[in-house]
Amino acid sequence: MAEKKENSKVKTPTFRASFANVFKPRSPFEGQDPAYSVQMLFPKSTDLAPLKEAARAACAKKWGADKTLWPRNIRSPFKDGNEKNLADYKDMTVIEARSKMKPGIVDQNLEEIIEPGEFYSGCWARATLTCYAYAKAGNTGVSFGLQNLQKVKDDQAFSGKRNAKDDFDAIEDLEPKESQMPAGDDIDF
């Protein structure tokens, strides 16, 4: 029987979602198994102590309480957004979470979100994660597993695509007036 991984669950502070692949799994690299994932962008001022404690606990569970016995060069799940060449990552701490299982997604009122356009890269959210340490193929590190997401609020989508409501005004009279209709031969391109 396979050994069951016991991971502790932790709830994140509010973050901005980026590369939100939470409705359909995607393979990050050719040959890798598809997974659901999200990059979480935390303003640098955010208190990430619970996430850092979970990372330390995962290391202690994997390699023991004595830090001197831990492997060197453990890959940290906490990345500096300033090192990315993306404007929205400036002054952010970036953490990626992945899962082979689809995360549950709810809104502020705990109503399930099933429409992919409702949870998007650019919205603000919270997540529940598991944390685990790994030693695989010569690499050692700590990663977060994605469990569930809660959308907290809307914001400008990172795709740059605007909401249709922002592009148009409401129309009261649906019938075009004679002056608004082009005359066939009068059109000059």
Mean pLDDT value across residues 13-37: 93
Over residues 127-155, the pLDDT tens digits come to 999 999 999 988 999 999 999 999 999 99
pTM for this predicted structure: 0.80
- Where do the domains of the chain lie? 8-164
The CATH architecture that domain 8-164 belongs to is: Beta Barrel (2.40)
Residues 100-115 have pLDDT tens digits of: 999 999 999 999 999 9
pLDDT digits 0-9 by tens, 10-19:
999 999 999 9
* β-sheet bridge partners, residue 11: 128
**pLDDT surpassing 90 at residue 170:** no
For residue 91 the two structure tokens come to 């002054």
